[in-house]
Chains A and B, each alone.
Chain A
Amino acid sequence: MRVDFFTWNEIFQNIPERIIKRYKYYERKEEWARYLSPPQTFAIYGMRHLMSLKFDSSLECLRLWGFIFNETERLFRAKQINKKIIAVMGDLGGIPPIIYSFKSLIGFYPDCLWWQPFFSENYNLFEVTGKASFPETSCYSRVIYATFLKKAYFPKPDLIIASTGASCDDYSCVMQKVYNLFYKDKKTEFIWLEIPPRKEKRESAIKLLKENYQRLAKILSEITQEKFTIEKLISGIKRVNLIRRNYQRLKELVGKSEIAPLGSLEMLLLEFGNLHFYSDILEWQKILLGILNLVRKRIKDNEGVLNKENKKIIWATPPADPLYLIYFEDNGTRIVGSEYIIHQALEIIPINKNKDPFTALAESYLSASLIGKTKERAYLIINEVKKYQAKGVVISQVFGASHCAYETEILKEEIEEKTKVPVLIIDIPLPSSEIPLQTKTRINAFIENL
């Protein structure tokens, strides 16, 4: 069932204390490690946008939300319990399998905080970047710089890994600015890694990525003073693969099912869980498994969360404002597939006895959404359309984001030509509690034509 924020809070009141106490992060026993809180808590902390959204009323999803919104607290706690904090920027998915091969490391993507101003309906982080003279016509990811300045969203990292190259310009500029903040700081090491493009000849790119990863493993070993072994990496990769595999199963079940067993907002959060597992891989594994079982049960019971008649669509590029997903669902569509520019974080890392695990990581990363030709990204979307028999595609964009300026029309053309389904392109504006009327009209017209 999908419920509004207020109903969601009422439902929470009925959860027995013993269940609330059951869920703890970092496998800790202490009371401070609890993360299941009333949704109201997050709204009071500033996540006002929650009041405009709709949520899955299950305990499994409540657990998901509690876990995600607890991440800031969790990162500060990690520091207190002597974990080393690694901020990973730009590569979106390639590096965490290495980080999570070390017991005392917690890796996270500050990149995901681009949702922060939207969930809080607050311009404050944009104002900070404005004061630093960042251009208004650039990707919303610019707020990440502000989160480093504010020092409230995550503790000071022990290491920052910034990846750039065959990637977007906006975030490369943001990382440069973050580098400027840290390069004199002896306590925080900052390393740059190159993201190679995907070309026909793959050997050089694999070699480059492999050397990146080997270098990184060495640095991490020095930071943790923990010996790095190939066995540890293999076991780290296996853990990550388990999560990726379960997410793939979940996505297929949700997308192919006659009914909609889960809403798109939760699916978005689950997909992004593949990046850094919201800073606690073991607990994330359990949360994901819980939702997978819930979906299986719902399919068996023929219990959907949306109207059965809703038209199937695919969503490309993650919407900065989650309200758009809800609006589409409320108005007759169902998002069955996605290409949220993190394809590299969804692919199974191909480890086997004959392959060096660094090579496997590199090969897996070469499936990244944005490192190749736009045509190749279009195929990812086209595959989703065909796989889930979608009736349309929505591409959400950010005005001024470098890749959007060059890829959108090619994507549209390729998708329309190969699938014959309509494509709607929308720009997501700055944080607001409402979708602009003109955009609503365009969305409604698109849905009517599906």
Chain B
Amino acid sequence: MRIGYFCLYTPIELLKALSLKPIRLIPSQKFDLTSRYFRYDACPFLKNLFSNLINKSWEFDAIFLLSLCDGQRRLGEILQKEINNLKIYEIYFPRTYNLTAFQFYYEEILDFIKLFERDLNLINKRLKEEIKILNEKKRKLLEIVNNLNFLKKAEVVKKFWEIGDIPENKFLEPFASKKEKVLFLGSYFTPVDWSIAERIEKYFTIVADSFCTVSRGIDFYPPISNLKDYLFFYFSKIPCILRRPNKIFYNYLKKKIDKYQINKIILYALKFCDAFSFEKESLKNYLKRPTLLIESDYSSDTTLQMETRIGAFYES
């Protein structure tokens, strides 16, 4: 069974161990048609994801949804109303680091597993194999993309999640730039937003990012261990701004800032994405770097204004 997902916390190795074929949903196109159940102030990513589902941008049989933000938590109900014959698996993922909340999540996953396989020993065995394979692939990918410019990296990582493809190193040109270095982070980053990165790279070099669709997805390697330890790794080690408190995410950024000696930060927030748009001040205060917030709702009207702001940020 082909199963679509988009959240970084999705236990992909487990899905593979269950003989499912996970496909990461990273929309490449922007469609105008959306569901009437989304109000105008709903998340532009979720609206566009829905449009891509309706337009059959991917071929899959089921969707695996986690509940990191309110929009994600409510998406299943909208999909159920709008798309016939789509199997929807909704798993609650905790916002806090409360251990009983982890147990809640673990039990949800156990129930999910039981839908496909009753032999937990077998799953544990397969899971270890899948973790090993994916970790190796991710390490190899990381080595390759480290030398690429940001957009090329985003493209290669996207392909990796979609079709598991790792390109040959010799076909990729290493990247060198003397422009000022920035850290680029923010909401779910898809090809629809890539033009923003192009604009940024007119003035700066994006040497590091924390997008779950680019670097964050390949920066972490679960232990080759049993199901519970594996899930606990996802629960406790992978940073996300939506977790409470979100200190692990900030520490992750701090390491990037120090490692790459970055002086400026560009925060990209999709319109109505509270998780990122509330954080500008905290980023500035915690990381002690000038921070530019740019917002987008995928509309082309804002691009000129955005470029002016990026230019002004460069001059400042």
In whole Å, how far is B207's beta carbon from the nearest beta carbon of chain A?
24
Q: How far is the CA of A137 from the CA of B282 in the complex (A)?
A: 18
With A166-B73, A399-B41 known as contacts, the answer to whether A212 contacts B67 (CB < 8 A) is no
Asked if A204 and B103 sit within 8 Å, CB to CB, the answer is yes
Asked if A204 and B108 sit within 8 Å, CB to CB, the answer is yes
Asked if B92 and A166 sit within 8 Å, CB to CB, the answer is yes
Interface residue? B71 (CB, 8 A): yes
Contact of B70 among A175, A193, A207, A406 (CB under 8 A): A406
Chain A residue nearest to B74 (CB atoms) is: A406
Asked if A404 and B41 sit within 8 Å, CB to CB, the answer is yes
Asked if B275 and A169 sit within 8 Å, CB to CB, the answer is yes
Q: How far is the CA of A205 from the CA of B100 in the complex (A)?
A: 10
In whole Å, how far is B202's beta carbon from the nearest beta carbon of chain A?
25
Quick one: CB contact mask for A159-191 with B, threshold 8 Å, 1 for yes? 000101111111011111101100100000000
* B side interface size, CB within 8 A: 46
Q: How far is the CA of A375 from the CA of B94 in the complex (A)?
A: 22
Interface residue? B281 (CB, 8 A): yes
Asked if B95 and A138 sit within 8 Å, CB to CB, the answer is no
Q: How far is the CA of A400 from the CA of B69 in the complex (A)?
A: 14
Quick one: CB contact mask for A380-424 with B, threshold 8 Å, 1 for yes? 000000000000000000011111111111100000000000000
Across-interface contacts of B1 in A (CB, < 8 A): none
In whole Å, how far is B315's beta carbon from the nearest beta carbon of chain A?
21
Across-interface contacts of B2 in A (CB, < 8 A): none
Across-interface contacts of B107 in A (CB, < 8 A): 204
Interface residue? A236 (CB, 8 A): no
Contact of A165 among B41, B77, B101, B269 (CB under 8 A): B101
Chain B residue nearest to A210 (CB atoms) is: B100
Interface residue? B274 (CB, 8 A): yes
Q: How far is the CA of A199 from the CA of B89 in the complex (A)?
A: 13
Across-interface contacts of A168 in B (CB, < 8 A): 70
Interface residue? A194 (CB, 8 A): yes
Across-interface contacts of A133 in B (CB, < 8 A): 278, 280-281, 293
Q: How far is the CA of A405 from the CA of B40 in the complex (A)?
A: 7
Interface residue? B36 (CB, 8 A): yes
Q: How far is the CA of A191 from the CA of B279 in the complex (A)?
A: 20
Interface residue? B221 (CB, 8 A): no
CB within 8 Å of A: which of B209-262? 242, 244-246
Asked if A406 and B94 sit within 8 Å, CB to CB, the answer is no
In whole Å, how far is A275's beta carbon from the nearest beta carbon of chain B?
21
CB within 8 Å of A: which of B1-53? 36-39, 41-43
Asked if B274 and A135 sit within 8 Å, CB to CB, the answer is yes
CB within 8 Å of A: which of B271-316? 271-272, 274-275, 277-282, 293
Contact of A135 among B42, B43, B278 (CB under 8 A): B278
With A138-B277, A173-B275, A406-B71 known as contacts, the answer to whether A194 contacts B245 (CB < 8 A) is no
CB within 8 Å of A: which of B118-166? none
Asked if A405 and B39 sit within 8 Å, CB to CB, the answer is yes
Across-interface contacts of A249 in B (CB, < 8 A): none
Quick one: CB contact mask for B48-92 with A, threshold 8 Å, 1 for yes? 000000000000000000010111011101100100000000001
Asked if B104 and A208 sit within 8 Å, CB to CB, the answer is yes
Interface residue? A134 (CB, 8 A): yes
Asked if B278 and A138 sit within 8 Å, CB to CB, the answer is yes
In whole Å, how far is A425's beta carbon from the nearest beta carbon of chain B?
9
Interface residue? B111 (CB, 8 A): yes
Asked if B274 and A409 sit within 8 Å, CB to CB, the answer is no
Asked if B71 and A208 sit within 8 Å, CB to CB, the answer is no
Interface residue? B98 (CB, 8 A): yes
In whole Å, how far is A287's beta carbon from the nearest beta carbon of chain B?
35
Interface residue? A353 (CB, 8 A): no
Q: How far is the CA of A404 from the CA of B39 in the complex (A)?
A: 8
Chain B residue nearest to A371 (CB atoms) is: B73
Across-interface contacts of A408 in B (CB, < 8 A): 39
Across-interface contacts of B281 in A (CB, < 8 A): 132-133
Interface residue? A192 (CB, 8 A): yes
Interface residue? B195 (CB, 8 A): no
Interface residue? B96 (CB, 8 A): yes
Contact of A211 among B67, B73, B100, B272 (CB under 8 A): B100
Interface centre among B36, B41, B77 (most CB of A within 10 A): B41
Q: How far is the CA of A177 from the CA of B277 in the complex (A)?
A: 12
Interface centre among B38, B77, B96 (most CB of A within 10 A): B96
Chain A residue nearest to B271 (CB atoms) is: A137
Across-interface contacts of B43 in A (CB, < 8 A): 405
Across-interface contacts of B74 in A (CB, < 8 A): 374, 403, 406-407
With A403-B70, A406-B74 known as contacts, the answer to whether A165 contacts B95 (CB < 8 A) is yes
Across-interface contacts of A407 in B (CB, < 8 A): 74
Across-interface contacts of A406 in B (CB, < 8 A): 37-39, 42, 70-71, 74-75, 77-78
Interface residue? A39 (CB, 8 A): no
Asked if B244 and A162 sit within 8 Å, CB to CB, the answer is yes
Interface residue? A350 (CB, 8 A): no
Asked if B244 and A172 sit within 8 Å, CB to CB, the answer is yes
Q: How far is the CA of A224 from the CA of B227 in the complex (A)?
A: 41
- 14 CB contacts below 8 A, A to B, read A135-B269, A135-B272, A164-B244, A169-B69, A192-B98, A193-B98, A194-B95, A194-B101, A196-B101, A208-B101, A405-B71, A406-B37, A406-B75, A407-B74
Counting from the closest, the 8 A-B pairs by CB-CB distance are A173-B278, A402-B70, A194-B101, A406-B74, A405-B42, A135-B277, A133-B280, A169-B274
Known: A138-B278, A410-B81. 12 other contacts (CB 8 A): A137-B277, A138-B272, A166-B92, A168-B70, A172-B244, A192-B97, A197-B67, A197-B73, A375-B77, A406-B71, A409-B36, A410-B78
Contacts from A to B (Cβ < 8 Å)? 132-135, 137-138, 162, 164-170, 172-177, 179-180, 183, 192-194, 196-197, 199, 201, 204-205, 207-208, 211-212, 373-375, 399-410
